[in-house]
Structure 1
Amino acid sequence: MSNTAQLSPAAEKPDHVPESLVYDFDFYADPGLIERGHDRAIEVAKEAPEIFWTPRQGGHWMIKGHKAVFDASRDTESFSNSPFSYDEMQEIIKSLPADYPKPLIPTPITLDAPHHGTFRMPLQRAFSPKAMKAISDDIRALAISLVEEFKPLGGCEFMSAIAEPLPVTVFLKMFGLPVERQVEYRVLVKQHLAATDSNPSAVQERLRKVAAAMHDTIMERKENPQDDIISMLWAAEFNGEPATINDMENYCVMIFVAGLDTVMNGMGLGALHLANNPKLQAELKADPSKVPAATEEILRRYTFTLPPRFVAKDMTFQGITMKKGEKAVLLLPTADLDESEYESPEEFKMARENVHIAFGAGPHRCLGSHLARVELNILYEEMVKRLPEFKLDPNKAVQYHGGPVWGPESVHLVW
């Protein structure tokens, strides 16, 4: 996405949606979002209904309030992570010709219970706090090298210089993919996340490109396992059966897209906040023990993911009539700016007691949250420790993008 994004056509309102619940907001291309980022999220948090219907992107629900998001995230019987149930998808697969490629199903994120737990389990250990602590020294060494590389230059475009190479390099090494191909991989991910065509054939075409880029490495790890996630998944069993190439591709397309994009947006939003708050830089430089608290408040103030859900049955949810098959986006950025949950939510307060839901809630809570926290804490600590006071370049405006992950396209820092 870029700041030239165009609003999608407005869809016709369904009869069961009252006019009072309609709020026009395109989470990919809203002009205010593209121009002002989370300042627009504050407006939506204050103006829009707790749950609203937008005519953009084909027409769908957006769940805005903190309680509504929390409840919907935990109610997987009402809000599915896929437009098709596991059994429905298996029937579709069985109906396909023998020589037809099996559909790619990003796993485990698009599965519901009990299948979600079965396929999530092998990844739990790989992303556990203990595993993240084991690689923290390597993450710190990489963060230091990136900061020190640009320090003598008096400034940098932060997203391309630091926010992208840091988490992407860490992820590729963990996953077992060649680091030297990271530019190619990032292009694929950006194309996938920026695409608004939700037609199943279009989605499958994009996922096939992602799987194809990893295919040789996936197959090589089957024959020559290494100390990486791809090798670990090949060694796993699912319902007593060994992993298949289809299982591996389903896992890899999900982890690939999430691992190569999400955290870098969080880093960019954090750098923006620090650049606009020199007193906070000085406070963290003087007392690095405050960095974790600052990280958590930055995550709350600038929550950046919007997980999609699908209404699993005709129902009434918190007084609102919803129909099976309708899309419902969990608007986590506004949930963490909800005045009913946080006092003066637009203000940055490290002493807040209420916990944010930037990583979601319920069984689908972000699997990579421990890794994200380690990376963010280390980066912020090393930035304020090693750089002089930094600020935004006044001659280069920040550009934002929308979509399922919000963040800045570019952040020009000077010091």
Structure 2
Amino acid sequence: MTALSPAVPTPEHVPPAAIYDFDMFLDPALLADPHERIRELVREAPPVFWTPRNGGHWTVIGHKENYAASRDTETFSSEVMTRDEMAAMKPHILAAMPGATHLPLPTPINMDPPDHTRFRAPLNTAFSPKAMMARKEEVRALANELIDAVIAQGHCDFIPAIAEPLPVQVFLKLMGLPIERMGEFRELVHEFLAPMETPLDPLFRMRKVAEAMRPELEARRDAPKSDLISLLWSTEIDGKPMTYETMEDFGVLLFIAGLDTVINGMGYGIRHLAMNPDFQNELRANPKRITEAAEELLRRYTFTVPTRRIAKDAEFAGWQMKTGDRLMLFLPAADLDPREFAEPERFSLERENNVHIAFGVGPHRCLGSHLARIELQVIYEQMLARLPTFRIDGTKPMKFHGGNIIAIDSLPLRWD
């Protein structure tokens, strides 16, 4: 059995009633069957609790509490540390990074309004519904190509065979990054999302991502093409030309978000279909319902866990929180909250007012949600249209991992 992270002492301001021992990276039940463990979490734990694992932090599992915290950017800051702290630490951190002159941060996701609004603006057009819809048939062609590669063998591990290469290749083309480096980039993402051993780990890992992107960032600055990196180079912020430092910041954000998240949405969706053959047949008979199905699958199997820093002393959900506390917006639990969704564990296309927050809520709502929806709908359409009834291959294990992404790493499928 995997050992949990060490438990830290409970701070004085955290009462015993607020404590629930949960390791979001290494909890054994979470790694065995994530959303069943999350259902248990919702039943047993308060809507907001403090856990001593992973350095000690607050965890928000209630739907209305997640909604409130996501919108209160003055209390729940997206800045990983204060600007004064960053300025004081920067020379020491850079000294440990030979040749580095800049600490890249995932911009604008690590910012609060109004800075967040200014830096997000250049990305809004690039990821607009119209711009993403223009890529739909490209996504479909790639989905068919990946299915063609496995259809005759009657089985595959869906994650490496289809779920990884589809959105990753779409994203690499969108950005203008070389497809042949896909394996290298995915390894970097896995390393970035692994448990942190020190508070400085994220900064070192982001520097490593920026270095990996350096050749393409410099190439597009000197010879623009029709890709997102080139578009960003031509953008002004507050009337000022784009800088290399800001390009690194944008690149780190897009790299991490674009190379991991939607893979897991596809994995959980296909897993549900594989476990429910009658539902597969229902959608094959009425493919127009795939759009609704994709939304309910996002609610039922939400998988992202954004991090916040408490920016000022506050009372929230009945608990006293202190400046500097860390807080996790545990969105997978919020979308299984029975106070918000009747019978939340039940998958239903007839669910009314399906106000899931799989893409977050408030100013940091997922920038790539339009592209993610297209990719999810297309992969469901093509898997159902091209394959006979598929099922979980019970001879091989499914594999998951926890953290800020509740991820599915292996999904063995079979079909006749």
Cα distance, 1:5 vs structure 2: 4.6
For residues 161-172 of structure 1, the aligned pairs below 5 Å read 161-172=161-172
Q: Aligned partners of 2:119, 2:84: CA distance in 1, in Å?
A: 15
Aligned to 1:129: 129
Cα distance, 1:278 vs structure 2: 0.3
- Structure 1: state its 5+ residue gaps: none
For residues 94-243 of structure 1, the aligned pairs below 5 Å read 101-200=101-200, 202-243=201-242
- Contact 1:83–1:325 (CA<8 Å) still a contact in 2? no
How many pairs were matched up? 411
Aligned to 1:27: 24
Q: Please say if 1:70 is aligned against 2:61.
A: no
Closer, same or farther: CA 301–96 of 1 in aligned 2, 3 Å = closer
For residues 312-391 of structure 1, the aligned pairs below 5 Å read 312-354=311-353, 355-391=355-391
Identity of aligned residues (%): 50
Closer, same or farther: CA 95–387 of 1 in aligned 2, 3 Å = closer
Higher mean C-alpha displacement, 297-306 vs 395-404? 395-404
Provide Cα deviations, 1:211-238, integer angstroms capped at 9, x if missing partner. Answer: 1111011000001111111111111111
Cα distance, 1:197 vs structure 2: 2.5
Provide Cα deviations, 1:239-281, integer angstroms capped at 9, x if missing partner. Answer: 2211111101011011101100101011111111000000110
Q: Aligned partners of 2:219, 2:143: CA distance in 1, in Å?
A: 30
Q: Aligned partners of 1:55, 1:94: CA distance in 2, in Å?
A: 31
Q: Aligned partners of 1:163, 1:329: CA distance in 2, in Å?
A: 26
Higher mean C-alpha displacement, 98-107 vs 366-375? 98-107
Cα distance, 1:195 vs structure 2: 3.2
RMSD across aligned positions (CA): 1.7
TM-score (norm 2): 0.96
- Contact 1:27–1:403 (CA<8 Å) still a contact in 2? yes
Aligned to 1:395: 395
For residues 228-307 of structure 1, the aligned pairs below 5 Å read 228-307=227-306
Cα distance, 1:408 vs structure 2: 1.4
- Contact 2:305–2:329 (CA<8 Å) still a contact in 1? yes
Cα distance, 1:344 vs structure 2: 0.4
Aligned to 1:56: 53
Structure 2 counterpart of 1:208, one-letter code? R
Closer, same or farther: CA 334–96 of 1 in aligned 2, 3 Å = closer
Cα distance, 1:379 vs structure 2: 0.2
- Contact 1:45–1:337 (CA<8 Å) still a contact in 2? yes
Cα distance, 1:390 vs structure 2: 0.3
**SS of alignment partner, residue 329 of structure 1:** strand
Higher mean C-alpha displacement, 270-279 vs 310-319? 310-319
Aligned to 2:4: 7
Structure 2 counterpart of 1:63, one-letter code? V
TM-score (norm 1): 0.96
Q: Aligned partners of 1:396, 1:255: CA distance in 2, in Å?
A: 33
Closer, same or farther: CA 226–5 of 1 in aligned 2, 3 Å = farther
**SS of alignment partner, residue 284 of structure 1:** helix
Provide Cα deviations, 1:116-158, integer angstroms capped at 9, x if missing partner. Answer: 0111000001111001111101001101111122111101010
- Contact 1:41–1:334 (CA<8 Å) still a contact in 2? yes
Cα distance, 1:319 vs structure 2: 2.1
Cα distance, 1:407 vs structure 2: 2.0
Cα distance, 1:84 vs structure 2: 2.5
**SS of alignment partner, residue 414 of structure 1:** strand
User: What stretches of structure 1 move > 2 A for 4+ residues in a row?
Assistant: 83-100
Structure 2 counterpart of 1:341, one-letter code? E
Q: Aligned partners of 1:255, 1:97: CA distance in 2, in Å?
A: 23
- Structure 2: state its 5+ residue gaps: none
Q: Aligned partners of 1:205, 1:32: CA distance in 2, in Å?
A: 30
Cα distance, 1:85 vs structure 2: 3.7
Q: Aligned partners of 1:286, 1:87: CA distance in 2, in Å?
A: 59
Closer, same or farther: CA 288–324 of 1 in aligned 2, 3 Å = same
